[in-house]
Every structure is written in structure tokens, then in C-alpha cells.
Amino acid sequence: MPRDMIFTSESVTPGHPDKLCDQISDAAIDAFLRHDPAAHAVVECAVATGVVFLAARFAAEAVIDLPSLARKVIANVGYVEGGFDARSCSILTSLVELPKSMRQPACVKPDEEAIAACSALDQANVFGYACRETQELMPLPISLAHRIARALDRARPHLPWLSPDAKTQVSIEYRDRRPLRIHTVTVTAAVAAGTPSGQVEEGLRAAVAKTFDDADMRPDGRTAINVNAGEPYEIGGPARHAGLTGRKNGIDTYGEIARQSGAALSGKDPSRIDRIGAYAARHAAKNVVAAGFAERCEVHLAYAIGRAEPLSLSVTSFGTGAIPDQDIAARVENAVDFRPAAIMRRFGLRTQPGLRGEQGFYRPLAVYGHFGRPDLDLPWEATDLVDALRG
């Protein structure tokens, strides 16, 4: 990271086509695990004008009506009329039921023998990151971009011309590697045809302004705030552009200021190490920072198919470490079990109480990021390793 720079991160609202796909995919994972905690499932989704395509491979003691579930998610997001309608869109499916032997009953509440026997089912590099830029130890640009996206979605019931599909972007000016000020805020939102531009400008600026009431940093007199500055945006969602599960990794993680895996997080059950390994790496990185060992920290884990233990673990503190990086890594390795079944057990990923709720546990992760999230009680956001790391 250069000492002085302007860095930009983006977020999107739930009606963005890619995020719509993520929500459908994760709602399906919730449904499978709600009915069968040992289920194995991978669900991917694509959307375009009037069409939803669902591809699912699963082994479960459950029967899930995926098309009906998809329509429910689409309607909940706000697409109930116009160019993309939950009630009338075509839904195509490719459903492959795998052998029941692929279920993972031993990993629901694994004992030590099951933890040793449960290996990674895929190869993966996963990364976790944390820094002292916000209270939740997340990078400031992505934290503020998520805040604004959330504010736009909350404003929709009061702004009937506002579509579920919008993008936000926040640019932070850094000085000596620390956030100095908000340089630019950009909001691009689809609106109903014929809505006066002045009305759009006033409504969206008011929604943005409320975002900063309790934020870690506020705009100053020089901050540029751009509202629908490009071409007219009167058609949003899948009627305007196609969407696909797993295409917004930067939004899902750290706003591209830190490394991330190329693999999707959404649409995968807890057997997938590329998902749960990222959660474990974030947990470790956040606790390193919370324990005072670094101002910024990245934890990298590498996994190979057929092995339970990670191939490697490394820590980078970007020159902010209170002790050498290899010593931090040794503390992390001693304090944390990164084997797949151990991660599942530590976080309760197959038995979370949220799985039984209407919103589920995984679906809320599909918008506004999988990390930070003070609105959710996520186990990998707990700073419960601080004492173990210090000891």
C-alpha cells in the first residue's frame, strides 16, 4: 500500500443482478441445511431479462422446491413488476442429486476423530484481513460503501421511483497509510422512467447524508458527491444486465484493498474450504489486530484436496507488527485449528440458530459483505482468540 493515495471501493444493493444471484444461492444453502444439517450442496444462479437459471448439485435428506424459493427471494428484493417480475420470470433448472454418501453427518458436531478424517474437498488459497480503520476492524472504503448501499435500500419504501438496483462507491484519501478524508462519494441508482432529475438528486442525497450520522468518518467541504452522473439509468436489475453467483468478490470481502480468493463465497455448504477457510482466516486476522500485534494484518492459508491440515499458514503485517510476522504466525498456528471440520465445529456452520429463521444464516451474508457486519452476530467476527494469542 503506498503511503499516500486515493483508494476506492464499491458496494451494491440487494437488487443488483449479481447480488440477486448470490442471495438465491445462499437461500438454497440455508434451506438444505435447515432440513438436513449434514447436507452437501453447491448452488449457482444466473439471471437475465425475464430468465433465472439455477444449477444445483446436492446430496441431502431433504426435498427443496428451488424455483419457488427463487421466486420468493426475487419478490423480497423488490422485483414484482416491470421488466423482471418474480411471478412471471422463467426459471430453468439443472438439478443433480448426488449419492447420499456425500452427506457429512460426522461433521455436524464432529469429535476429534471426525476432525482428523474430514479433509479439504477442494484446493484453495484463502485470505483474511483486518485493520484499525473502523470499529469493526475493516477497511474504511468498503465499510462506508456498504453503509450507503444499505441506506439506499432502506430508503426505497419512501422513494417509490427508486429501483432495487443501485451501486455505491467511496474514495478515501490516505496520508501516510492512514485514512485522512472522504474524497468522493458516487451513487448510481436505477429510477422509474420520467422521474424528475431534481427529485432523484434530492432524494438520493438525503439518503446518503443520513449514512454518516454515526460513521467513522464524514464528508468534508471538499468531498465530491456524485448522484447518477452517467447516462440515464431508467432500467435496472436483470432487465438491464445479467447476473451471476460469485461475481462480486471484492464487495463480499475487503473492497479489493486486500487480497481475496478467486472463488465465490456464496452458494456453497460448509464442506467447501474456499468458503469456510476465508471465514477462519478473517477470524484469525481480526484477533491479531484486536490483540495489538499489528495495525493491519493478512492471514493466508493454502489447502490441498485430501488433506485436513492447511499446506501453509503465513501472516503479513505490512510493517505494522509489534513483533515479527513469523512470530505472529506461530501464535496463530498454536491458537487456532484450521482443519475444515474444526472450523465447522468452532463456528457451528451446520447448526447455527439463524438457519431456522425466515432470513436464514447464509442469505444475509450475500449482500453488504461477509465480514465486518455489526448487524449480524457472526462467529468469525468475535475477538475470542485475543487471550490465546497473547498467551
Q: Tens of pLDDT along 38-95? A: 999 999 999 999 999 999 999 999 899 999 999 999 999 999 987 899 999 999 999 9
Domain shared by 383 and 276, yes or no: yes
- Does residue 334 lie within any of the structural domains? yes
pLDDT of residue 232: 65
Domain shared by 211 and 177, yes or no: yes
Query: For all residues of the chain together, what is the average pLDDT?
Result: 94
- Does residue 294 lie within any of the structural domains? yes
- Listed in sequence order, the DSSP H helices in 133-196 are 140-155
Domain shared by 157 and 182, yes or no: yes
pLDDT tens-digit profile of 165-181? 999 999 999 999 999 99
Closest CA to 354 of 363, 345, 346: 363
Query: pLDDT at residue 357 above 90?
Result: no
> What residues pair up with 166 in beta bridges, in sequence order?
189
> What distances in angstroms separate CA 287 from CA 59, 163, 340, one per listed residue?
35, 39, 19
Domain shared by 147 and 210, yes or no: yes
pLDDT of residue 194: 86
Give the separation between CA 43 and CA 366, rounded to whole angstroms: 13
Domain shared by 277 and 370, yes or no: yes
Give the separation between CA 8 and CA 251, rounded to whole angstroms: 11
Q: Among residues 212, 236, 260, which one ends one of the domains?
A: 236
Contact 366, 253 (CB under 8 A): no
Domain count, the chain: 2
Domain shared by 128 and 276, yes or no: yes
Q: pTM (2 decimals)?
A: 0.96
245: confidence class by pLDDT, cuts 50, 70, 90:
very high
- The Cα angle at residue 368 between residues 59 and 140, in degrees rounded to 5: 135
Domain shared by 152 and 232, yes or no: yes
Cell of 284: 484469525
pLDDT of residue 1: 75
Give the separation between CA 89 and CA 49, rounded to whole angstroms: 8
- Does residue 108 lie within any of the structural domains? no
pLDDT of residue 233: 75
Percent of the chain at pLDDT > 90 equals 85
Domain shared by 219 and 278, yes or no: no
Contact 267, 245 (CB under 8 A): yes
Domain shared by 278 and 364, yes or no: yes
Q: Among residues 236, 255, 280, which one ends one of the domains?
A: 236
- Does residue 291 lie within any of the structural domains? yes
Domain shared by 275 and 381, yes or no: yes
- Does residue 329 lie within any of the structural domains? yes
Characterize the bridge pairing of strands 162-175 and 5-12.
Answer: antiparallel
**Better pLDDT: 232 or 320:** 320
Which residues span the domain enclosing 162?
A: 5-12+140-236
Give the separation between CA 89 and CA 68, rounded to whole angstroms: 11
Give the separation between CA 207 and CA 219, rounded to whole angstroms: 14
Listing DSSP states for 62-120 in one string gives ----HHHHHHHHHHHHT-EETTEETTT-EEEEEEEEPPGGG--GGGTS--HHHHHH---
Domain shared by 129 and 180, yes or no: no
CATH number, domain at 201?
Answer: 3.30.300.10
pLDDT tens-digit profile of 127-180? 999 999 999 999 999 999 999 999 999 999 999 999 999 999 999 999 999 999
Listing DSSP states for 203-267 in one string gives HHHHHHHHHGGG-SS---TT-EEEES-SS-----GGGTS-EETT--HHHHTTTTSS---SS--TT
Domain shared by 129 and 168, yes or no: no
